[in-house]
Structure 1
Amino acid sequence: MAAVTDLLDYDEVLERFDPVLGLEVHVELSTATKMFCGCPTTFGGEPNTQVCPVCLGLPGSLPVVNAVAVDSAIRIGLALNCTIAPACRFARKNYFYPDMPKNFQTSQYDEPIAGDGYLDVELDDGSTYRVLIERAHMEEDAGKLTHVGATGRIQGADYSLIDYNRAGIPLIEIVTKPLTGAGEKAPQVARAYVSALRDLMRALNVSDARMEQGSLRCDANLSLRARAGDARDGAEQEAVPLGTRTETKNVNSLRSVERAVAYEMTRQAAVLASGQAVVQETRHWHEDTGSTTAGRVKSDADDYRYFPEPDLVPVAPSAQRVEELRATLPEPPGLRRRRLQQEWGYSDLEMRDVVGSGALDVIDESVRAGATPAGARRWWVGEAVRRANAAGVELVDLGLTPAHVASLDALVREGRLNDSMARQVLDGVLAGEGDPEQVADARGLRLVSDDSALGEAVDAVIEANPDVAAKIRGGKVQAAGALIGQVMKRMKGQADAAKARRLILERLSE
């Protein structure tokens, strides 16, 4: 790996330059079959088993457009406030890469299906930045290269393996217009935009948008232009020409998007401050070092020798079909979050924790299944997220369902289980022992409801701990915690701690 370039201090970058962003996000659609053939799109299949003559580009094979993918593209365009083209066509983007067996990619060039839209994104401070959308176009994905060697990257690899299962999977590429005026918030704008896109794709149910699996990938373009005096966002600054851009490819996490933009700002600024020129190139993001390294010199559109795809007819959705698809759009994710926060009574901090943990949808389903909002948040964010992180899996893959959480919450509210028991039940559910009630029955977990038995345990503990009892009689009520612990131990964790506390205080106030 090349040595990291000296970086300019971030504050100095902002004093001398204005960052200009351009974000290209590729979204793999969750269709059952590929864009131009009938091969399945299942993630994780054995390499090169989900292929056919069409997606391998064999002579004589002819593509057919996936109608579901076209509908998904239109819905994405509508959700991004784009204009849907009454007619559009595919083109061949010609280049040689080993992961594209046809030596061209079937994409859209001068006639995208959707364009001229926008998406408002909310930043951490509550402000809103409008991201202008240049276009959203349909294309197909390439295959996947695995570089075998110490680094896992093409530099220094011993050899590379190609899996064509991904070749031909439907993609929507969403390209922004140049984003200016963000200043110091440019990295945050990039992260917030990609996060908002991910939420939108999931709400539309067109993609699982898992960045770690590559079904949503971001290419972050960045350039710096010199400031015109003190004009940060006005017409004077807009007149300054844009700088040379770099494109950091395939950044696969929200945190990395933010870090990559910030790094490129400081790297490019150092290059310009030294009197050198920024090279227009692709760059690779390195998560371990938080830096980028040079890839290849970036091609312009002319280098790809686009020409209309002769084997596919134009796509011409009727106005009626567009309106039918518009009627299927869900509530915008931002509005939904604000509505649910108000309905659930969550604080801003609680809602940020819910959204940040990826638990919003499962909490919503749990509440609709009968859980209280507080209970659903507690079991998902307080317990399930911790277990998912420890296991290294997504929350939805943990094995816990909204119905489980609603049942567990009900058992606690009904007084059958205390918190300690409920956590044991949760462990049993995740171990595959059944639903919460079955686990509680099988493990014999139930709060003792016999007040006389609890009273006997309280009396025995008070008698065995006269010093602590004296402190409580003297007004140190917090000392009751020690006695409650003794009661719980004596009753093997099956006592109601709140009831035990009440009985202890009643006994010692007599």
Structure 2
Amino acid sequence: MLDLTYEPPKPKVIAGATGDWELVIGLEVHAQVASKAKLFSGASTRFGAEPNSNVAFVDAGMPGMLPVINEGCVALAVKTGLGLKAEINLRSAFDRKNYFYPDLPQGYQISQLYHPIVGEGEVLVDMAPGIARRVRIERIHLEQDAGKSIHDMDPTMSFVDLNRTGVALMEIVSRPDIRGPEEAAAYVGKLRQILRYLGTCDGNMQNGNLRADVNVSVCRPGDYERYQESQDFSHLGTRCEIKNMNSMRFIQAAIDYEARRQIALLEDGKEVIQETRLFDPDKSETRSMRSKEEAHDYRYFPDPDLLPLEIEQAWVDDIRASLPELPDEKRARFVTEFGLKEYDASVLTAEVENATYFEAVAHGRDGKLAANWVINELFGRLKKDDKAIADSPVTPAQLGAIVDLIAKGDISGKIAKDLFEIVYTEGGDPAAIVEERGMKQVTDTGAIETAVDEVIAANPAQVEKAKANPKLAGWFVGQVMKATGGKANPKAVNDLVTQKLGL
């Protein structure tokens, strides 16, 4: 494991007219379960299908249609709980959350208020190399998604698409342990990373497959500590919920605006009204959506069509045994196995696809050299071309072959960059390209010595300057490299120049 220092939450302090204020943040992250079928029907969950084409009778709320639990969704929820080091409840139950909206044809949402499938867990949020903070998970429950209301196709009408209706969601509820906008974004980022490693959610925020409801309140310094001692939420101030945030940048902007809005109200002698708000990214501000409902407003009651869900410990143990290596463990292994700095290991493990690519390149090779080429050359070029690792024109085998040529001394670093560019744009076997195009590094000291002698003989004035100022010897190295087309071994050139000039 990594040698981590666990920091207590550091509140963001905002100076107001009447004194300092601190932020308190809790998140409810809705993660779409990576299943091909919905939670209670066999309808497809494929994104981008024609409106209302992925709808079963039970999704549409047709009379007499009964829900049937999707075992695969349950397994992925359990897997997520295990990945977050959470308690798995062997007995859970589904409840009906009653409210009316056009995109909710049943008139209720099936969720788990009283007996969730997953209990308390934690997320270790990386704040800096070697520094992490714990954010406690209160619960994870399964629920079905609602449909989508569309208001911008015709100014006189609203349309409803039920394709999302019934899609399985995991609602991951944190404790109010987050104390600033940056920490909130880092938490969502770490949670997304873990889910993607587990394969339980694809984490696609643009498509709405991962979105967060952000609860924000402000309090005076010392009030949060009083809450921790008493667990009395009144110390934390009245919270407002910002719905459906699907961007790390917008999450930070919304929290900052909302905190300042609440502070302005309180310092004006007004009250913060508990409500649900939306974030307007164009104006970078939150606006009121509706008053915040409490549980009793939804008239929750056990769903009469679904028996309590009971699972066996042996089944949970089998899922635990199948867990992949998670990002923190993989990062620690990269540090010890490949001798990487923690920062480089963090970059390489940020996405599971990146980590897989690097391991294929580094297998049986110098890990540090492989990491340097993956991070600096490959990632840099992919970013420039706006490509993902899955679309890389250079395969791990090709990049590994380039690393081999460098390690054997067949090519210099400069030639390697030229070779990388050829492979990136044209493809081909790196070793064959080096042979065919005469790119092999000159290691014959006799040939290099001849080139050094010629450069020195042609530049007597520069020789005197170099003898007076040894730092100028680099000029001769550059001239020799230029004369040999960059093929001479740089170390051999440097050694001979130093020797010939008597430095």
Which TM-score bucket, shorter chain as reference? 0.7 to 0.9
Match of 1:502 in 2: 495
**Structure 1's 457 and 294: CA in aligned 2 closer, same or farther, altered over 3 A?**
farther
The answer to which of 316-325 and 456-465 deviates more is 456-465
Partner Cα distance (1:253, 1:29) in 2: 19
Answer yes or no: is the 8 Å Cα contact 2:216–2:239 preserved in 1: yes
Note closer, same or farther for the CA distance 1:127–1:11 as it changes in structure 2 (3 Å cut): farther
1:229/1:503 CA distance change after superposition, 3 Å:
closer
The change in CA–CA distance for 1:119 and 1:479 in structure 2 (over 3 A counts) is: same
Residue-by-residue CA offset, 1:105-143 (whole Å, 9 max, x unaligned): 333232211123333434338555432322101123344
Letter in 1 for 2:482: K
Residue equivalent to 2:9: none
For the 8 Å contact 2:331–2:346, the answer to whether it is kept is: no
SS of corresponding position for 1:417: coil
1:420 aligns with 2:420: no
The structure 2 residue matched to 1:141, chosen from 141, 145, 150, is 145
Cα–Cα, structure 1 residues 396 and 238, in superposed 2: closer, same or farther, change >3 Å?
farther
**Partner residue of 1:130?**
134
Tell me the residue number matched to 1:378: 372
What does residue 173 of structure 1 align with? Answer: 171
Which of 173, 178, 192 matches 2:186?
192
- How much has 1:237 moved relative to structure 2? 9.0
CA contact (8 A) 1:121 1:196 kept: yes
Number of positions where the alignment pairs a residue of Structure 1 with one of Structure 2: 491
Query: 1:491 matched to which residue of 2?
Result: 484
How many angstroms apart in 2 are the aligned matches of 1:146 and 1:434?
Answer: 49
Q: For residue 403 of structure 2, what is the aligned residue in structure 1?
A: 409
In the other structure, the counterpart of 1:152 is: none
- The worse-fitting range, judged by mean Cα deviation, of 285-294 and 205-214 is 285-294
Alpha-carbon distance, 1:234 to partner: 6.0
Distance 1:68 1:11, change over 3 A: same
Give the superposition deviation at 1:216: 2.3
Give the drift of 1:427: 3.0
| Change in 2 beyond 3 A, CA 1:285/1:466 | farther
| Residue 72 in structure 1 maps to residue 76 in structure 2 | yes
Residue identity opposite 1:474 in structure 2 = A
Q: Distance in 1 between matches of 2:186 and 2:403?
A: 33
2:62 is aligned with 1:59:
yes
Classify 1:296/1:331 alpha carbon distance in 2 versus 1 (closer, same or farther; 3 Å): same
Residue type matched to 1:500 in 2?
Answer: V
Instruction: Tell me, in whole angstroms, the C-alpha distance in 2 between the residues paired with 1:332 and 1:225.
Output: 36
CA 1:502–1:433: 2 relative to 1, 3 Å: same
SS in 2 for 1:121: strand
In the alignment, the residues of structure 1 paired with residue 236 and residue 407 of structure 2 have an alpha-carbon distance, to the nearest angstrom, of 61
- Alignment match, 2:241: 247
Q: 1:178 & 1:345 partners in 2: Cα distance?
A: 37
1:263-302 matches, cutoff 5 A:
263-287=257-281, 290-302=284-296
| C-alpha contact 1:484 1:501 (8 A) present in aligned 2 | yes
Ranges in structure 1 where 5+ consecutive residues have no aligned partner: 1-7, 150-155
Offset, 1:99: 4.8
Contact 2:362 2:370 in 1 (8 A): no
The Cα of 1:173 is off from its aligned counterpart by: 0.9
- State the partner residue of 2:32: 28
Query: Equivalents in 1 of 2:192, 2:272: separation in Å?
Result: 31
Q: Is the 8 A contact 1:89 1:108 kept in 2?
A: yes
* Compared CA separation, residues 266 and 429, structure 1 to 2 (3 A): farther
Aligned-residue offset at 1:56: 5.1
**Per-residue deviation at 1:217?**
1.9
1:27 is paired with a residue of what secondary structure? strand
Shift of 1:301: 2.8
Would the alpha carbon gap of residues 128 and 491 (structure 1) be closer, same or farther in structure 2, given more than 3 Å must change? closer
Q: Following the alignment from structure 1 to structure 2, what is the Cα–Cα distance between the partners of residues 292 and 29?
A: 29
Q: Could you list the runs of 5+ residues in structure 2 that have no partner in the other structure?
A: 1-11
Deviation at residue 72 of structure 1 after TM alignment: 1.1
> How far apart, CA to CA, are the structure 1 residues paired with 2:75 and 2:30?
17
Work out the CA distance in 2 between the residues paired with 1:494 and 1:100.
69
Equivalent position amino acid for 1:319 in 2: Q
SS at match of 2:79: helix
Does residue 467 of the first structure (1) align with residue 461 of the second (2)? Answer: yes
Contact kept, 8 Å, 1:357 with 1:385, in 2: the verdict is: no
The residue correspondences of 1:64-103 to structure 2 (distance < 5 A) are: 64-97=68-101, 99-100=103-104, 102-103=106-107
Question: Given residue 175 of structure 2, which amino acid in structure 1 is its aligned partner?
Answer: K
Name the SS for the 1:83 alignment partner: coil
Is this contact kept in 2: 1:231–1:237, CA < 8 A?
no
Among residues 383, 386, 391, which one is paired with 1:392 in the alignment? 386
Query: Match of 1:68, as an amino acid?
Result: G
Check 1:115–1:432 CA distance in 2 against 1; reply closer, same or farther (3 A cut).
Answer: farther
Q: CA deviation at 1:321?
A: 1.0
User: Does structure 2 retain, via aligned residues, the 8 Å contact 1:366–1:376?
Assistant: no
Amino acid at match of 1:172: M
Amino acid in structure 1 at the alignment position of 2:56: P
Secondary structure of the equivalent of 1:115?
coil
Contact 1:224/1:269 (<8 A) preserved: yes
Alpha-carbon separation, structure 1, partners of 2:308 and 2:84: 23
**Backbone CA RMSD of aligned residues:** 3.8
Any conservation in 1 of the 2:348–2:358 contact (CA below 8 Å)? no
Counterpart of 1:304 (choices 287, 298, 307) is: 298
The SS at the match of 2:290 is strand
Q: Which moved more, 1:269-278 or 1:420-429?
A: 420-429
Contact 2:129 2:342 in 1 (8 A): no
Inter-CA distance 484–277: structure 2 relative to 1 (3 Å threshold)? same
CA distance in 2, matches of 1:393, 1:163: 32
Deviations 1:409-442 (A, max 9, x none): 1121122232233223333444362454455566
Secondary structure of 2:91 counterpart: coil
TM-score normalised according to structure 1 size: 0.81
SS state of the match for residue 180, structure 2? helix
**Aligned to 1:190, what secondary structure does the other structure show?**
helix
Matched-pair contact (CA < 8 Å) for 2:20–2:221: yes
Letter of the 2:500 partner, please give it: R
Q: From 315, 318, 325, give the equivalent of 2:312.
A: 318
Deviates further, 361-370 or 268-277: 361-370
The within-5 A match list for 1:310-389 is: 310-351=304-345, 353-354=347-348, 361-362=355-356, 365-366=359-360, 369-389=363-383
Contact 2:330 2:349 in 1 (8 A): no
Deviations, residues 242-262 of structure 1 (Å, cap 9, x unaligned): 422112223334444344333
Q: Which residue of 1 aligns with 2:3?
A: none
